[in-house]
Structure formats: structure tokens, C-alpha cells
Amino acid sequence: MLKLRGFILQASYRVVSGSAGTRVPVIHIYGRLEDGGTFLVRDNRQRPHFYIRTSDVERASALTSQQSVALEKRTFNGEPVSRFDMETPTDVPGLRDRLHDVGVDTYEADVRFAIRYLIERGIKGGCEIEGEATPGEGITWVFDNPVLRPADVRIEPRVLSFDIETDGKGERLLAISMYSSEIDEVLIVDGSDRPMPEKATRCVDEYSALNAFCERVQQLDPDVITGWNIVDFDLTALQKMAQRLRHPFSLGRDAGAIRIRKAEGYFGSGQASIPGRLVMDGIDLLRGAFVRMDDYSLDAVAREVLGEGKAVAGDVRDRLAEIIHNYRHDLPAFALYARTDARLVFEIVAKLNVIHLAVARSQLTGMTPDRVAASIASFDFLYLSELEKLGIVAPTVRSSDSRVYEAQQGGHVLEPLTGLHRNVWVFDFKSLYPSIIRTFNIDPLSYVARPQPTDDLIETPGGAFRREPAILPRVLDELFPRRDVAKKQGDEVASHAIKILMNSCYGVLGTPACRFYNPALANSITGTGREILLWSKQWFESAGYTVLYGDTDSLFVRSGMPDADEARALGKELAAKLNRDIAQYIGQEWRVTSKMELKFEKLYLRLFLPRARGSTRGASKRYAGLLNAADIDGVQFVGMEVVRRDWTALAKQVQRELYHRLFTDQPVDVYLADIVGRVRDGKLDDQLVYKKNLRKDTEEYTATTPPHVVAARKSTQPLGRLISYVITTAGPEPIDNIQHPLDREHYVIKQIKPVAEPVLATLGLDFEQVIGDSRQMDLYALLGDR
């Protein structure tokens, strides 16, 4: 009998043959032990099941021979339920759908079998395992039908990054490179007697390379296998090669083939399952952690994060030809390129802490680390775990559609007072929406659809809620102090994980794909946020201050003070006073304890609020502010061209410099005239590239053909999602196939002028006069974009 603690990496099941021809589903839980070993829990005692109202049992019995079991559990409305047990998980959807067809509602009939196993035991990431165990083959301990309990377990995941090189069609394997803290090696497929470069191993054929790769994986025993686009390309290509070569291609800790689920939709990513190991694609890890990049190619991300790109001598966009050439004629360069790719991925995910973040999010929600980015599923696990404790069942999800159809209020935006302002306070409500949920007890379980006049409820703009403590407010009450502790301890990973979870609570409630979808809940949160924002605006105005702008959870207030240090000190005092007053207001108006907290966030020495293009009204969610007069990077931009991917590097450079000059009282006219002259002289051609994503295949653009699609159709290279192109005298052309001279005047009119005009208008200057081109007419405005 052993009692060990570990962290769950993977939860799945397999169906085996039982007695008398029965089929028995067996839960498989794989993970790492605290002592560094590995474990597998196998449990054949669990049965797939779901619930219906007990009042519907008679109607349901006409559709199945399965017997129902009456339970003490209840629906949200307090109705008793009965449970249907099925033989295997695949038997559930058929009966569920038949019941729906005759109008019988089901409950939790879509919850994954292995996930339900964890939910019912309250396990989130860490667990204590107690039971009989035997040494496994490739796994330290195998437990059969043990007792699992929740436990707080911390592990350091072992990570292996790999990358493959193939021929132009992705059909013939040239090399497999691997990188981790223990290995830096490339397996090169080469049947000759050429000398192998440093850290390269010869494999006489593709079969030998697959053999060697599988052996390395088994020896290194990683918890996480990562790479760049490894599911849709690397693993998919290797699986096809293995099938062609009849190679077993065993990468798991346990017997079983790799399973790959193809990407759905143009922007989807595929998923891969290897027994006992996590497959976590680098691109998905960044996106799941909300790390925003203009370009998600490995070269671009590596340069942004590490300051180092791919090991190529020529243009990285035409790397295929160089790879093939080096494979044939320069093996050291080929090996370096392959090894560098694997290393870059490893170092990117390590530096950004995205794997550790996934593990931390798993500990919070219960979802396995490879699925924590699925916000609805993570919220589902968390909330269902709490319902399980209360003996309440939740509705089955009927829709996978995450689009919003019913009217929902967004965050409230105050119209900006346009122009240039000095010493402006910025106040933010700390985690506004989670704080509203906590304060007003907003929760699927506490919501009252049809309030009675005699009910003592918390009335919000979107709906009414009971006063008895509910699930979400309690969960958030626990998370807030945990995040504060993490921040004080400098644990950015834990703090970020908690922030992501807290912020997701609002979004999922307004999404039809969530089982707890209810527009009234989302509108209660945003509607209350609007009231709080407007009340705070009035509070400042009553104190004699001018509110220049506000958006959802923030207010920009003119201090009217010439001294910046004195303004900062007063800003902190005002935030503390408003918090006291708003707590009193909320307590009197709703009879609840306020969890709202306004913070003095920063002081802009200068703030510019522009007009919307072609309008006299102020532009929402667009501004530039100066924090530090001594540094051009002291200018912060929100919603402006400098932070948008679809503007050129030229426009961004010009905008950044112009606002720094405006805010520090430096002349702009000489700089602007010089930059236009340099563009026209061809000295800034490297800054004229546009980058824009394709949102579907190029042939699917039929109603309109945007410039990046025109360019994509002219490309000679395999298309990715991001298209890089320039405007020439013949229109848009991809940078890999530029056939005509650049139309530099286009960039003067369409890139420099739009970012310059708001600054020039503030100074009473005219663009054409400043650049010394008073004869110029904006023909592009007359003819339209090219």
C-alpha cells in the first residue's frame, strides 16, 4: 500500500472487454510525482452518467431500457433528479439526443467522462494517491482503483522542444532536432559517409531517424513536448511518414498511438494526444497566455523575445531553398539551422514562463495544462466542482456556438474632451467586473428570473439576485487575496494565472457555448459597471474637477495642478476618499458591502485625446500620454496606429516621434519635412512593408478583395496567415515577389499624413505646407486606396 502525491498531466479513458462480453471504460490518469517519478492511475469503477428531472423518468423510459436511479441532487430550480448510468461514454450522446428530441431536458450529459471523475473528487491539478501500486514499464508506479484526494502539489515540468526539416512537400524527412536542459542534438537522415557536424547524429534512413527520436524521448522522459506549429506540421508529418514506413512511432509513457485532431477553421489549431505526455504548441502557449505579437512566426517571435532569429544567411522568408541547399552542400550550416529552431522554441517558452503559467492555471481550475486556454471549459470545471459539493446539477450545453446573439451591454465609454491636456490623473477600478460580481452577489445560482414584490433581493440594472452567499462571489473572494499575496511575493506566474481566471468569469456568462449562459448576468455586470463609472464621474465633478474621458473601469481627470509631484500626491488622496464615499453609497443603496477599489494608476504629464477621423467628436479608446519627458519610450499609445499591426513601421516611427516632440515642446515641421524627403528618395524602403492576417483562404474572398489578399495571390511562397506586402505602381505585391517600383507617394499620403494631421492640427499647421508641397492634391483620397 502506497500513499504518494503528484500532479495530473493527462486525464483520459480506454474501453476494455469485461465479463460476459461487456465493455468497461477505464479511467487513465497520468502525472508526475513530487519526487520526480511518474504515475498512472487506472480506475474501472466509474460509470458514464447524466441526469434528468425525476418527473421526466416515465417519458424517458419509453426511449431506453436503461434504469434510472433517484438521487438527492436537485436542479437550479430545486427539482429532484434521477441518474442514467451508461455502459461506455460513447453511449451517452445517443440517448441524450433522443431525450432532447422529445422535449426531455438533460443535465451534465456533455461532461467528459474523465473530467467528471476529477470533478466528483474535487481534484484540481494536484492529488494524493493511496492504494496498491506496481512498477510500470516506462512509468514509475501504476495504481489500480486507488483512492484519489485533492492535494496542493508543485512540480517542475520536464520540457523537450523538437523541430523537423523536410523536403519542399513535407513528405521526406531530412532531420529531427531536439533541445532541452539535457540535450542539444540533431538527427540527420543521410545514407552517405559524409562527416557529421557538431552535435549531429547520422541516421542512415528515415526509419532509423524515427527510431532514434522515439528512443531519445523515452530516455529524456519529458512531461511536455513543445515546438512551433508542431501539431499541424511536425507531428502530422512524422505520423504520415511512420505510417508509410510502418514504424510504430511510440512517444508515450504508456502503450498507445499518438492521436491528432486536425484544426477546425482557418484560425484553429490542431491537438495531439500522446499517452502520459502533454503536447503544447509554442504558438498556442503564447496566445493562451495573452502574449500579443504582430507576427507569430518563430523568427519574428524569437527576435522580439530573445533578440535572436533563425540561423539563416539569406532571407528568412525564402528559407526552404537555403535549407535544401545546405542539406546537400553545407551540412554544418544545415545542422546549426535545425538545432537553432528547437532551441529558440525552448528558450521562448522558458523566458515567457508560459508552461509554468499553464500549470498554475491547471491548479486553479482543474483543467489539464494543455486545455487551460479553453476559458469556457475551465470555468465549467471550476463551477461544476462547486455545484457537486452542493448536490446541484447543471444543464447540458446545447450549443457550441460562442457568438453572441442577444443584446448585451458593453463597458460604458464617456466621450473624450479632445485636445492636449496637462497633468491628467488616471484612476482605475481594480478588477472592476470581478469586484462587481463579489459586491452584488452576481451568480448563475443566485439569479432570480421572476422576482416577487416581497422578495428581498439585490436589484441590478440587468436582473435581481438573492442575498445568500453564492458560488462565484465566494470563489472570487478567495482569489483576490491570493493574487495580492502572489504579487507581494513577486510570483508573476501565479498572479497572472489568477487574473486570467477572474477576468474570464464575466465573458463566459455571456457566451452561448457556456452551460451557464445568461445575458441577464452579463448585463447585470456591465450595467452596474456603468452606474459605478457615472457615479464616480459625478463625484469628481462635484469636487470641481473635469473628467476628460472614461472607459469601462477608468477615468481620466484633469488635475488643474502645475506641479506633477503635488498632483500625484493629491491623486492618491482622492482615490482613498472616493473609495470611502462609494462604499457608503453602495451600502446605503443596495445594503451590501462594497468590494470596489479605485486606484490612482498614474499621472500623464501630457495627454492627447484625438478626434475621430472625419468627425468633430472625440475618438473612443484612442489616446497618447506622456509619462516620462526624458525618454521617447515614455509616451504611451492606446488604440493608435503605433500599436496596430496593419500600419507600417514607417507610420509607427513617425507617430512615436511626432508625439514625443509635441509633448516635449519640440518642433515637428523640420522633422516631418525630412522624413517625407527620405521616403521619396527611397532611403526608408525597408519600413514600407504592410502586414495583415488572412482570415480565410484567398479563394474565399469573393465580395471584396483587400490589398493583402491581392498580394497573397501573387506570392511564390507557401502562404501562412500573416501576409507581408508593399504597394507598388502596379498595386499590392508580396515581398517575395516584387515586380514593380514602390509607390512611395502612397506612403506619404496614406501612412505619414494620417498620423501627422492630428498633431499638426493641434499646432495650427498644414501637412502640405509643412512638407513644402503646397501644390500637392490628395489624389489617393479621390481615387480610393490602391
Say which residue the cell 477599489 belongs to. 597
Lowest mean pLDDT, pick from 384-388, 548-552, 683-687, 700-704: 700-704
620-657 residue pLDDT tens: 999 999 998 777 678 999 999 888 878 999 999 999 99
For the cut 90, the answer to whether the pLDDT of residue 743 exceeds it is yes
For the cut 90, the answer to whether the pLDDT of residue 716 exceeds it is no
Q: What is the mean pLDDT of residues 192-213?
A: 96
CATH 3.30.342.10 fits 2-150, yes or no: yes
How much is the pLDDT for 721? 78
For the cut 70, the answer to whether the pLDDT of residue 666 exceeds it is yes
**Nearest alpha carbon to residue 129 among 34, 207, 247:** 34
Q: State the angle between helix axes of 331-351 and 354-365 in degrees (0 to 180), rounded to the nearest 10.
A: 40
How much is the pLDDT for 425? 98
DSSP for 370-425 reads: GGTT-HHHHHHHHHHHHHHHHTB--BPP--------S------EEPP--EEEEEEE
The answer to whether the beta carbons of residues 175 and 340 sit under 8 Å apart is: no
Give CA–CA dist 236/600, Å, rounded: 51
Q: What is the mean pLDDT of residues 217-245?
A: 96
Tell me the three-class secondary structure of 132-193, residue by residue. CEEECCCCCEEEECCEEEECCCCCCCCEEEEEEEECCCCCCEEEEEEECCCCEEEEEECCCC
Say which residue the cell 542512415 belongs to. 204
Which fold, 413-609?
Palm domain of DNA polymerase (3.90.1600)
What's the CATH number of domain 159-352, 3.30.1330.10, 3.30.420.10, 2.40.40.20, 3.90.25.10?
Answer: 3.30.420.10
For the cut 70, the answer to whether the pLDDT of residue 243 exceeds it is yes
What is the average pLDDT value for the chain, to the nearest integer?
A: 91
384-427 residue pLDDT tens: 999 999 999 999 997 655 444 455 677 899 999 999 999 999 99
Which fold, 645-783?
Topoisomerase I; Chain A, domain 4 (1.10.132)
**Nearest alpha carbon to residue 560 among 603, 503, 613:** 603
For the cut 60, the answer to whether the pLDDT of residue 75 exceeds it is yes
Q: What is the mean pLDDT of residues 564-581?
A: 97
Q: What is the mean pLDDT of residues 451-462?
A: 92
Q: How many CB atoms lie within 10 A of CB 101?
A: 9
Lowest mean pLDDT, pick from 13-22, 193-202, 429-438, 464-473: 13-22
257-272 residue pLDDT tens: 899 988 765 445 688 9
How much is the pLDDT for 405? 45
- DSSP label of 313: S
111-165 residue pLDDT tens: 999 999 999 999 999 999 999 999 999 999 999 999 999 999 999 999 999 999 9
Q: How many CB atoms lie within 10 A of CB 346?
A: 22
Domains of the chain, residue spans: 2-150, 159-352, 413-609, 645-783
How much is the pLDDT for 265? 54
Sheet with 49-53: list strands edge to edge.
Answer: 68-74, 80-85, 49-53, 106-107
How much is the pLDDT for 697? 84
Share of the chain above pLDDT 70, in %: 95
